Homo-oligomer: A and B are copies of this chain.
């Protein structure tokens, strides 16, 4: 099991605080609280092996949704996490720079596979690396690095056999920041997550776009039928539903602003974030975290940066959050 701290583990929260009578308000992840409605699923999607033609349709819907070229090599996996686990095998033993602080699994997975993985605070410090990994917009602080800068970095890395990994887990709420339009370019590997923006993290669906050589290797390692039939069907529907996506982007943006206001009104300092979560600082963050936990509201602490907390969007739980903040 992973030793990286994560949000979203309600059993652990219950072990600490007990089960709240009104249920958990889980703000410990960056998952859209109003998920894409599960469409009716053909029973054949559960029964049969996943079908190649349906998978192809999913990949095409993803390319279109992300604004990637129609011929950009792309592979789907049962969750972005499994792709993150496989990436180190693309460059065994590489010198890796991870732009941090960021999502902890990147460093953990490269290190576990024997890479020399260093977390760096700026791209300048990454100059000697063969592989550069960054999350854009970043989790948890929402930092965005411009596309021009990223593509130049990918070109530079490609020229010496290296790789730029851009984890766009939250790019649906910042589409202008995405480099998906350049997918297929040498030296560039893009990760996309389905579950966060579409609010369906349980479904496990992640995608990678890159060069033919890299994507073919990932596909071979995943093997045939890596994505479940129901996930393929839900993915096709959601990735093709531009109306829902546009409305959701607007709603998330408004809700994130509302969350920021609520938190700053309660003595937090805004430290960034995205349309799916906010990072805030508070001199007594640990005490607030515990008080919220007792009230059945789970937020994300950072053991090594104890003044910070990350809040996901409360959906219809704004009033409850406001009451618990006092």
Contact = CB atoms under 8 A, between A and B. Distances in A.
A251 interface: no
A82 interface: yes
A8 interface: yes
Q: How many copies does the complex hold?
A: 2
B46 A219 contact: no
A201 B53 contact: no
A248 to B, nearest CB: 14
A299 to B, nearest CB: 15
Nearest to A53: B11
Interface stretch (A63-71, A132-140, A223-231, A274-282): A223-231
Interface string A2-33: 10101011111000000000000010010100
Nearest to A232: B202
Interface residues of A, number: 55
Nearest to A34: B47
A203 B46 contact: yes
A226 B79 contact: yes
Contacts of A220: 1-2, 112
A51 interface: yes
Contact of A46 (B29, B50, B81, B202): B202
Contact of A105 (B44, B78, B223): B223
Nearest to A6: B224
28 contacts: A2-B224, A6-B224, A8-B51, A10-B51, A10-B53, A26-B48, A29-B48, A29-B49, A31-B48, A31-B49, A35-B43, A35-B46, A46-B200, A46-B203, A47-B200, A47-B202, A48-B201, A48-B202, A50-B202, A78-B204, A81-B223, A81-B224, A82-B223, A85-B223, A203-B229, A204-B226, A228-B231, A230-B230
Closest 7 CB pairs of A and B: A202-B229, A11-B53, A78-B78, A8-B49, A204-B228, A81-B223, A2-B224
Interface of A: 1-2, 4, 6, 8-12, 26, 29, 31, 35, 38, 43-53, 78-79, 81-82, 84-85, 105, 109, 112, 195, 199-204, 219-231, 234
